[in-house]
Amino acid sequence: MTLTTPARALWLTTRILVHEPELRSWLTRRSVPGLDVDDIIQESYAILAGLQSVDHIHNPRIYFFEVAKSVILQSLRRSRVIAFSAIAEFDALLIPDDAPSPEAIAAGRQELGRLAELIEDLPPKCREAFVLRKVRGLSQRDVASAMGVSENTVEKHIGKALGLLSRIIGRGGSRRVTSSYGNESPDADGADRATRDRR
């Protein structure tokens, strides 16, 4: 058995120990019959402490979880009799990942597409100011210069765009964006703004 160097002990303390509560919780929820959570964690630390080098470990959290999973698998392989439930539990040992699921990615792309449609439906000047400032990240001064208007006008266009988008998104995005100026399409009940204001 090799002794842990001070550098390795520091690495274990700063990069691995912080993930122990999460690993412990993860293992407890997936209790594998015949295996103790403390034993799995202890063996995982021993494996990490005995590595020749840790330079290849880019994500210590995932590596720690993988080592624990490997400890479980080795224990199951050494067992003469393995309960079917232990095999089923091992198949469920998916390492928690910070990356979004394919479903979340697809949903995010759909939301982004819908938002792009809503932005496209903004009144032209509001859309231009909004895209230059919020999408392309130009300063308010640069947007004003590009549009040939004052910074105050840019601020009003962006405020109007945000207000219109907020109202539409708040309704579930089910209605096209309309300007508060000029011709406006009727509301869901068929009344236009002027009629509604007279009520």
Q: What is the pLDDT of residues 26-83, one digit of tens each?
A: 888 876 767 889 999 999 999 999 898 898 998 999 999 999 988 888 887 776 555 5
Q: How confident is the model at residue 46, as a pLDDT?
A: 92
Co-location of 78 and 15 in the same domain: yes
Whether residue 37 is found in the same domain as residue 84: yes
Residue 171 sits in a domain whose CATH number is: 1.10.10.10
Q: Mean per-residue pLDDT for 109-131?
A: 90
Distance CA 171, CA 32 (A): 47
User: 17-36 burial, b if ≥16 CB within 10 A, otherwise e?
Assistant: eebeeebeebbeeeebeebe
Query: Is residue 73 domain-resident?
Result: yes
* pLDDT recorded at residue 72: 85
Residue 129 inside a domain? The answer is yes
72: in domain = yes
Residue matched to tokens 């219109």: 164
Task: Name the pTM for this structure.
Answer: 0.44
What is the average pLDDT score of the chain?
78
pLDDT at 94 over 60: no
pLDDT at 27: 87
Residue ending a domain, choose from 57, 91, 125: 91
Domain that holds residue 18: 6-91
Looking at 72, 91, 110, which one is the last position of a domain? 91
